[in-house]
Structure 1
Amino acid sequence: WKPPGSLPVGPLPRLPTWEWPGGVGGIYTVLQTKAKITSDEWGENYFLMGPYLEQNVRTQVELIDPPHPAVRRTIDSMNAKGCKVYFGRWLIEGGPYVVLLDVGATAWSLDRWKTELWESCAIGVPWYDREANDAVLFGFLAAWFLGEFVAQCEEKPFVIGHFHEWLAGVGLILCRTRKLPVATIFTTHATLLGRYLCAGSVDFYNNLHAFNVDKEAGDRQIYHRYCMERAAVHCTHVFTTVSQITAVEAEHLLKRKPGEGLGKFSAMHEFQNLHAQSKAHIQEFVRGHFYGHLDFNLDKTLFFFIAGRYEFSNKGADIFLEALARLNYLLRVNGSQVTVVTFFIMPARTNNFNVESLKGQAVRKQLWDTANAVKEKFGKKLYESLLVGNLPDMNKMLDKEDFTMMKRAIFATQRHSFPPVCTHNMLDDSTDPVLNTIRRLGLFNSSADRVKVIFHPEFLSSTSPLLPVDYEEFVRGCHLGVFPSYYEPWGYTPAECTVMGIPSISTNLSGFGCFMEEHIADPSAYGIYILDRRFRALDDSCTQLTSFLYSFCQQSRRQRIIQRNRTERLSDLLDWKYLGRVSRRGAGSPPPCPSGPPPRPPWEPTPWGEPAAVRGRHGGWLRGAEGSCGDGRRGRGMGRSWPSPP
């Protein structure tokens, strides 16, 4: 739907500095995965706005001239007044347009703009908070662009600005204080105060109603940031969150209740079986990393992983390590032949690759070259012998030189130390929480351990000399993603696992976990394990997590294949074609513009019949799934029967 003669622009400003286009964080994932379906619908009227980061723009953006005359005039006008505004196309699927604002080029206006922010909103920003100062610069530039764009349009445009997180919130506040004709939407992916409180090991969810939010923000020296976030929440026309559990959090901490929590992800519908191909790349890395101690069968080895920002407690790395130690004990005492290699993919401060890790990959490559050389010589002699009609004499197939070369290769694999736990040299090795916990639990990758741990403190890249795979390929090659988060407003990592057909463990304190519990009667049958971290003590939650891990290790290869196929079938629940229509209704709120589009009929994803019924968006069982559950469960744990969708 497009109003005649209008130029809708939305969603617009997004989180500055590290989220765009650096490839880190949930908001980057939202906009990247959402771009294809949104671009298909809005076409050339869909723009993204973010900060200009030269090192990322060089590789991810094609700078072009704006196709719209009004946008071109807007950029020329701002550049003539001392700004640096760039226009281009983001080189991802969908190829959306991007407007890039150089905040450094307008730093000379910072004091004047901070004064205006104080006079209009009574929000003061200290000089030492560089991130907040950048947010002010970006917000004023975004509002300037929107205001100038409206002025440059010959006809009154219909403009929607969708602002993500507090760092983009200043632009929204200015749109309202300056009374710009822009319909605003604000989405919080995680409240600022919530992150700080959970990182401080407080009983967060059971005390949401009791927090003195002003005092808590002041004690943590983030009161000005909290004010920026709360002002944006109360100024916006439509307020949304990424999950229901974040909606409850926002209601107590930001004092505004969103209409409905929304999960946002894009299902890629890539159901090809790439698991074996991707797993082979990981196995090659493991062969090099564990050279000299490769006394376990890779065909009976499972790959687990956890990935995300390095928030040790919030992301559940603490409980995961404890559960791994217990799993190691269970596998050893029960004589299991299964080995678990667990990857921690969390960026931390490092100065280079670990020499021992690099040496392992070099040794592996040398062995591969030696084996290939011997294979070529062996194959040629075998061919010549068979060609003349003789059975080969195996004692003469290889000469003394070949045996010498193979012995040298074997001697090169000897190692007297354990394989390294960390692939990089850490700058804060003695205080690093992951490494200290590994030392306390004794997970040193010894030959007796059935659970091996690899800490990769850097995001994955196909150009890495150590583990040259992209994150998507790495996920496809693993068997289980483990995300036992204590604070996770939505949870894009388990969602990414789901659309790639990889089982995962989430919690009932994450938006993803709550969403799946609401829509699926038996999530574990579909490879979605929901850990109870809200109503159980920490030790009980750890025991439950250990049980999930151990039961997964007991599955046969055929059972894992069946489970992966079931996991892939949940992709429609996470598709923007489904969630985007819910999002466009503004979480149940009326359209911010009177001439907004009429509501569309609800869409239902394809039903699946086994092994348990899947609930639709309205709470009813999807048609075709009735009677498939087999145990009469309806509205499990909700205390009411579920109506059928209209």
Structure 2
Amino acid sequence: MGKELLFPDYIFESSWEVCNKVGGIYTVLSTRANTLQNAMKDRIIFIGPDCWSEKDNPYFTEDKSLFGEWAASAVEDGLTLKVGRWNIPGNPIAVLVDFTPFYKRKNEIYARLWEDFRVDSLHAYGDYDEASMFSYAAAKVVESFYKFYLDESKKVIYHGNEWMTGFGLLYIKRYMPEIATVFTTHATSIGRSIAGNNKPLYDYLFAYNGDQMAGELNMQSKHSIEKQTAKNVDCFTTVSDITANECRELLDEPVHFVLPNGFEDDFVPRGAEFTRKRKQARKRVLQMANALMGTDLGDDTLIVSTSGRYEFRNKGVDVYIEAMNRLLREKSLSRKVLAFIEVPGWVGEPRRDLKERIESGKKYDTPLEVPMITHWLHNMSHDSVLNMLKYLDMQNRADDNVKLIFLPCYLTGDDGILDMKYYDLVLGNDLCVYPSYYEPWGYTPLEAIAFKVPCITTDLAGFGLWVNTEAGHEGEIEDGVKVIHRTDYNYSEVADIIKNTIAEYSNFTPAKVKKCRDNAGKLSKKALWTNFIKYYYQAYDHALRQRDMRLEGRK
């Protein structure tokens, strides 16, 4: 086309996960921020919820010198704000808004949105009210800032992430047409719900009616705000081709652009530091496992893990356990395997008996009771992981060549047993396995290969599809990522392929392992934000051109 892209003078970007680490969107925004901050120098402003009340927010540092006059005037607009910086690389400006005052106007706000955009809030429950009031408050912040400092001569974008920002995007569309709007859905609420309710998503995608399924699964309100936002913004985007297909079928709206999730690798240690941390991680997990199970696993043990949110089927935790069960009887396995499930459950407390054993430094030849779990749970008898282990009779017996341990915590360095952060732990792995059934992108495998840990994933993950495109064929473990073809119905085949891949890897020579690890590291470099940010620039250009056409039409 050859035309020069329009570039914004200001970007306001909102998400429930700005300065609020609860999921993968935090990683998307916090790693991309540095690239945008370098390009825009404090003209990218993130808006998040002030949900820490009186407690210190570790992700945010308030700075009352930033936009002080506006912040003072915003109080008169009924806004309670904290302005400061997000404690991430680039230290971009962040505004945290208290959305609770808007609850008293909730019905009026919902009624207006029904009148303007036919958004159905009647069936709201769960986090719908909270998200909607935050989103409305975030839009009021943008409106207030714009009116205080800016005018139509400035190219301004408001970018919202997930259905939780839909209210604000529609408010801006209705009352601030001078601002261009971009909406990114990282996963459709109805698609996630179909998959999470054990319904076949992919074979029937063409036949599902999103509105009908929303009614059946009690998702009407979330689906309604997401669908209307997608239809009404200047630029509708998602994170992978697989989710773009979902948007077209379930929201009846094709996306304008796919914005793949990049990352920065500044959290990956280099050289001697990498080697030291890897040894430290392996030593720590082997020490813990031996104390729990009364074993004597050495450094030649093949350490494997899966991790992510506790979505038993969607994240493929079920098929991972099944694969480990089959691996127990695999004759070609040449090394002992220590496998972890690192997903946060309903944790009660760290096991005191395990902690005492670890701290004693002694060796034990008898297992503790329930030698499959590191922390006691509140719901031991209703936990999906423990129930499947019980059903399969996987007890981590002394002569089992595959041991599976459930580590049911957020690994933030203070779990009471390992006391190591996830990134410090994962680089000790030999392999990571993420056999997702529903995964719009997939940060966990991308993070794994950044640490040169080869991984196994599926082509139902956006990341898996991207790997296949980069490799020019279905990814193999030698490429650094094995991509398994997964469908609604090939669970057993997927479990077998995972089992076979791990057994095959256990027989690799040190030279072949090194090549695998190097290829994993090289592949991760292709997903850095420096390579992916161009897609965002195209989306900004599209949104600004739509805005210009709208403003021309008003003249």
Secondary structure (helix, strand or coil) at the match of 1:290 reads: helix
Match of 2:24 in 1: 26
Cα separation, 2, equivalents of 1:538 and 1:160: 43
Flag the 1:281–1:293 CA change in 2: closer, same or farther, 3 A.
same
Cα separation, 2, equivalents of 1:494 and 1:289: 24
CA RMSD of superposed structures (Å): 2.6
Deviations 1:204-240 (A, max 9, x none): 1111111122121011111011000001101111111
User: Any residues of structure 2 matched to 1:300-319 within 5 Å, and which?
Assistant: 300-319=300-319
Cα separation, 2, equivalents of 1:111 and 1:560: 60
Q: Is the 8 A contact 1:10 1:47 kept in 2?
A: yes
One-letter amino acid of the counterpart of residue 446, structure 1: R
The yes-or-no answer on 1:491 pairing with 2:454 is no
Cα separation, 1, equivalents of 2:294 and 2:72: 62
Match of 1:52 in 2: 50
Secondary structure (helix, strand or coil) at the match of 2:127 reads: helix
Deviations 1:6-55 (A, max 9, x none): 983325111x2xx3434332211101111111111111111111101227
Secondary structure (helix, strand or coil) at the match of 1:163 reads: strand
The yes-or-no answer on 1:67 pairing with 2:66 is yes
Match of 2:171 in 1: 174
Deviations 1:69-127 (A, max 9, x none): xxx44432332344311111111111111110111233222233222222322324248
How many Å apart are 1:416 and its aligned residue? 5.4
The yes-or-no answer on 1:12 pairing with 2:8 is no
Match of 2:79 in 1: 83
How many Å apart are 1:179 and its aligned residue? 3.8
Match of 1:603 in 2: none
The yes-or-no answer on 1:183 pairing with 2:186 is no
Q: Is the 8 A contact 1:7 1:158 kept in 2?
A: yes
Secondary structure (helix, strand or coil) at the match of 1:234 reads: helix
2:40 to 34, 42, 51: 42
Cα separation, 1, equivalents of 2:191 and 2:123: 24
Match of 2:256 in 1: 259
Secondary structure (helix, strand or coil) at the match of 2:200 reads: coil
Secondary structure (helix, strand or coil) at the match of 1:481 reads: strand
One-letter amino acid of the counterpart of residue 62, structure 1: T
Match of 1:205 in 2: 202
1:517 to 468, 474, 485: 468
One-letter amino acid of the counterpart of residue 59, structure 1: P
1:123 to 108, 111, 119: 119
2:352 to 346, 355, 366: 355
2:387 to 411, 432, 436: 436
Cα separation, 2, equivalents of 1:417 and 1:59: 37
* Normalised TM-score (structure 1): 0.79
User: Any residues of structure 2 matched to 1:570-589 within 5 Å, and which?
Assistant: 570-586=523-539, 589=542
The yes-or-no answer on 1:132 pairing with 2:85 is no
Q: Which is greater in Rg?
A: 1
Match of 2:277 in 1: 277
Cα separation, 1, equivalents of 2:5 and 2:317: 49
Flag the 1:58–1:535 CA change in 2: closer, same or farther, 3 A.
closer
Secondary structure (helix, strand or coil) at the match of 1:100 reads: strand
* Normalised TM-score (structure 2): 0.91
Deviations 1:162-190 (A, max 9, x none): 11000011100111122431111111110
Q: Is the 8 A contact 2:120 2:225 kept in 1?
A: no
Cα separation, 2, equivalents of 1:26 and 1:302: 27
Match of 1:401 in 2: none
Match of 2:235 in 1: 238
One-letter amino acid of the counterpart of residue 496, structure 2: T
One-letter amino acid of the counterpart of residue 570, structure 1: L
Secondary structure (helix, strand or coil) at the match of 1:534 reads: coil
Flag the 1:416–1:572 CA change in 2: closer, same or farther, 3 A.
closer
Match of 2:552 in 1: none
How many Å apart are 1:439 and its aligned residue? 1.0
Q: Is the 8 A contact 1:305 1:480 kept in 2?
A: yes
Cα separation, 2, equivalents of 1:520 and 1:414: 46
Secondary structure (helix, strand or coil) at the match of 2:11 reads: coil
Q: Is the 8 A contact 2:182 2:233 kept in 1?
A: yes
Cα separation, 1, equivalents of 2:98 and 2:530: 33
The yes-or-no answer on 1:547 pairing with 2:544 is no
User: Any residues of structure 2 matched to 1:141-540 within 5 Å, and which?
Assistant: 141-153=137-149, 155-156=151-152, 157-268=154-265, 270=268, 272-273=270-271, 274-275=274-275, 277-291=277-291, 293=293, 295-330=295-330, 333-334=331-332, 336=333, 338-364=335-361, 367=362, 413=364, 415=366, 417=368, 420-522=371-473, 523-524=475-476, 525-534=478-487, 537-540=490-493
Deviations 1:136-157 (A, max 9, x none): 2112212212222221126433
Flag the 1:216–1:131 CA change in 2: closer, same or farther, 3 A.
same
Q: Is the 8 A contact 1:289 1:361 kept in 2?
A: no
Flag the 1:558–1:23 CA change in 2: closer, same or farther, 3 A.
farther
Secondary structure (helix, strand or coil) at the match of 2:9 reads: coil
Q: Is the 8 A contact 2:119 2:228 kept in 1?
A: no
Cα separation, 1, equivalents of 2:502 and 2:145: 54
User: Which of 1 and 2 has higher RCO (CA within 8 Å, sep 6+)?
Assistant: 2
How many Å apart are 1:532 and its aligned residue? 1.1
One-letter amino acid of the counterpart of residue 298, structure 1: G
Flag the 1:279–1:207 CA change in 2: closer, same or farther, 3 A.
farther
Match of 2:553 in 1: none
Cα separation, 2, equivalents of 1:527 and 1:568: 8
- Structure 2: gaps of 5 or more residues: 550-555
Flag the 1:440–1:478 CA change in 2: closer, same or farther, 3 A.
same
Q: Is the 8 A contact 2:258 2:535 kept in 1?
A: no
Cα separation, 2, equivalents of 1:121 and 1:579: 33
Q: Is the 8 A contact 1:147 1:180 kept in 2?
A: no
Q: Is the 8 A contact 1:243 1:263 kept in 2?
A: yes
Q: Is the 8 A contact 2:350 2:415 kept in 1?
A: no
Cα separation, 2, equivalents of 1:439 and 1:326: 15
Q: Is the 8 A contact 2:454 2:480 kept in 1?
A: yes
Secondary structure (helix, strand or coil) at the match of 1:160 reads: strand
Residue range with higher mean Cα deviation, 108-117 or 431-440:
108-117
How many Å apart are 1:472 and its aligned residue? 1.2
Q: Is the 8 A contact 2:290 2:297 kept in 1?
A: no
User: Any residues of structure 2 matched to 1:575-614 within 5 Å, and which?
Assistant: 575-586=528-539, 589=542, 591-592=544-545
Q: Is the 8 A contact 1:261 1:587 kept in 2?
A: no
Deviations 1:225-262 (A, max 9, x none): 10000011011111111001111111101111113423
Q: Is the 8 A contact 2:173 2:232 kept in 1?
A: yes
Q: Is the 8 A contact 1:585 1:591 kept in 2?
A: no
Q: Is the 8 A contact 1:287 1:294 kept in 2?
A: no
Q: Is the 8 A contact 1:194 1:249 kept in 2?
A: yes
Match of 1:404 in 2: none
Cα separation, 2, equivalents of 1:134 and 1:420: 40
How many Å apart are 1:66 and its aligned residue? 5.0
Match of 1:640 in 2: none
Match of 1:97 in 2: 93
Deviations 1:377-421 (A, max 9, x none): xxxxxxxxxxxxxxxxxxxxxxxxxxxxxxxxx6xx353545621
Match of 1:372 in 2: none
Identity %: 26
How many Å apart are 1:355 and its aligned residue? 2.6
How many Å apart are 1:557 and its aligned residue? 3.0
Q: Is the 8 A contact 1:113 1:136 kept in 2?
A: no
Cα separation, 1, equivalents of 2:457 and 2:35: 27
